[in-house]
């Protein structure tokens, strides 16, 4: 029994060692085949996609409108910044980078504006904030 | 092995954006209030802008970014127009009413 445990731990640690060697090998071959900026661009694009999914999931699952507003602004800030920066670093310096910068600047101006317009219209039309927040606001007024 | 790595990365981002668009469309379908639907439409437009850009990079023609820029413009104007329509029940004649009040 003790020999079995020893053997299993031996297998386990050799597996970890092989995985470490494999990870180092993949990383070294990636950095030799491509530049550092390519790797950074891919990381930015992958994390931008993940941020887009996080924002959409929050916008689907959150309980009321005001928290859904917060979740939708994650995509408008994090996803847009990361994806556009990743695409710009992947393309290099040319006209495409200028177009990406133009799209980013425009989304940066219009995203908060339209979010504020939606929130203001909802508040004016009488959609109340949730009960706990309302109680906190009334207690601050007193 | 890593020659087609950018394709995999862009494909991953495209699949992520597609799943996010489907989730936002589900919220658009069963949003309880009007403002949930407007917010979902705006978010869907932002996702579409990013999707068009990624699609251009995936197919090797980044000229699609012009279409993405145009879509961003139309998306903002459309959101404001929807909100204004549901506030005043008309898009064009609010100014005339205000001049008539004077």
pLDDT tens across A60-97, in order?
A: 998 888 889 889 888 888 889 999 999 998 888 888 89
Q: Rounded to an integer, what distance in angstroms lies between the CA atom of residue A132 and that of residue A64?
A: 12
- For residue B18, the enclosing domain spans 5-101
Q: Is B10 on the interface with A (CB under 8 A)?
A: yes
Helices (H), A62-130: 65-74, 80-91, 95-124
What is the interface pTM, i.e. ipTM, of the complex?
A: 0.81
Mean pLDDT of chain B: 83
Q: State the pLDDT at residue B94.
A: 52
Average pLDDT on B19-34 reads: 90
Reduced to 3 states, what is the DSSP secondary structure of residue A90?
helix
Q: State the pLDDT at residue A33.
A: 74
Q: State the pLDDT at residue A45.
A: 92
- Where does the pLDDT of residue B27 fall: very low under 50, low under 70, confident under 90, or very high at 90 and above? very high
Nearest-CB residue to B20 (from A55, A99, A124)? A55
Torsional sign, CA A79, A82, A83, A85 = positive
Q: State the pLDDT at residue A125.
A: 80
Q: Is B6 on the interface with A (CB under 8 A)?
A: yes
Nearest-CB residue to A49 (from B17, B32, B72)? B17
Q: Calculate the alpha carbon distances from A138 to A66, A142, B76 in Å.
A: 18, 7, 35
Which residues of chain A have a CB within 8 Å of the CB of B51?
Answer: none
Q: How far is CA A20 from the centre of its chain?
A: 27
Q: Calculate the alpha carbon distances from B17 to A46, A132, B7, B21, B95 in Å.
A: 11, 34, 15, 6, 40
Nearest-CB residue to B39 (from A46, A72, A106)? A72
Q: How many CB atoms lie within 10 A of CB A57?
A: 16
A-contacting residues in B 47-86 (Cβ below 8 Å): 47, 49-50, 53-54, 57, 62, 65-66, 68-69, 72-73, 75-76, 79-80, 83, 86
What is the separation, in whole angstroms, between the first and last Cα of chain B? 74
- Where does the pLDDT of residue A142 fall: very low under 50, low under 70, confident under 90, or very high at 90 and above? low
Q: State the pLDDT at residue A22.
A: 87
Say which residues have a Cβ less than 8 Å from residue B10's Cβ, sequence separation at least 6: A45, B54, B57, B58
pLDDT tens across A87-137, in order?
A: 998 888 888 899 999 999 999 888 888 889 888 888 888 777 777 666 776
pLDDT tens across B53-73, in order?
A: 999 888 888 788 889 999 999
Residue B1 predicted with pLDDT over 50: no
Average pLDDT on B89-94 reads: 63
Domain count, chain B: 1
Q: State the pLDDT at residue B99.
A: 58
């Amino acid at each position: 029994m003790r020999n079995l445990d020893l053997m299993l731990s031996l297998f386990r640690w050799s597996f970890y060692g092989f995985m470490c060697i494999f990870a180092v090998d993949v990383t070294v071959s990636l950095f030799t085949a491509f530049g550092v900026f390519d790797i950074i661009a891919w990381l930015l694009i992958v994390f931008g996609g993940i941020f887009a999914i996080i924002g959409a999931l929050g916008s689907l699952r959150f309980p009321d409108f005001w928290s859904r507003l917060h979740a939708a602004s994650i995509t408008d800030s994090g996803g847009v910044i990361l994806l556009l920066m990743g695409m710009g670093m992947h393309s290099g310096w040319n006209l495409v980078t200028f177009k990406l910068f133009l799209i980013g600047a425009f989304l940066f101006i219009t995203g908060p504006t339209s979010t504020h317009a939606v929130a203001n219209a909802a508040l004016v039309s009488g959609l109340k904030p949730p009960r706990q927040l309302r109680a906190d606001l009334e207690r601050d007024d007193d | 092995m890593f020659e087609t790595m950018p394709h995999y990365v862009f494909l991953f981002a495209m699949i992520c954006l597609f799943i996010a668009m489907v989730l936002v469309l589900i919220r658009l379908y069963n949003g309880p209030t009007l403002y949930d639907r407007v917010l979902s439409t705006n978010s869907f437009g932002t996702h579409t802008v990013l999707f068009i850009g990624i699609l251009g990079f995936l197919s090797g023609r980044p000229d699609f970014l012009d279409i993405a820029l145009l879509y961003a413009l139309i998306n903002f104007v459309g959101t404001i127009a929807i909100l204004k329509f549901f506030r005043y029940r008309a898009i064009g004649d609010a100014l005339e009413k205000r001049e008539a009040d004077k």
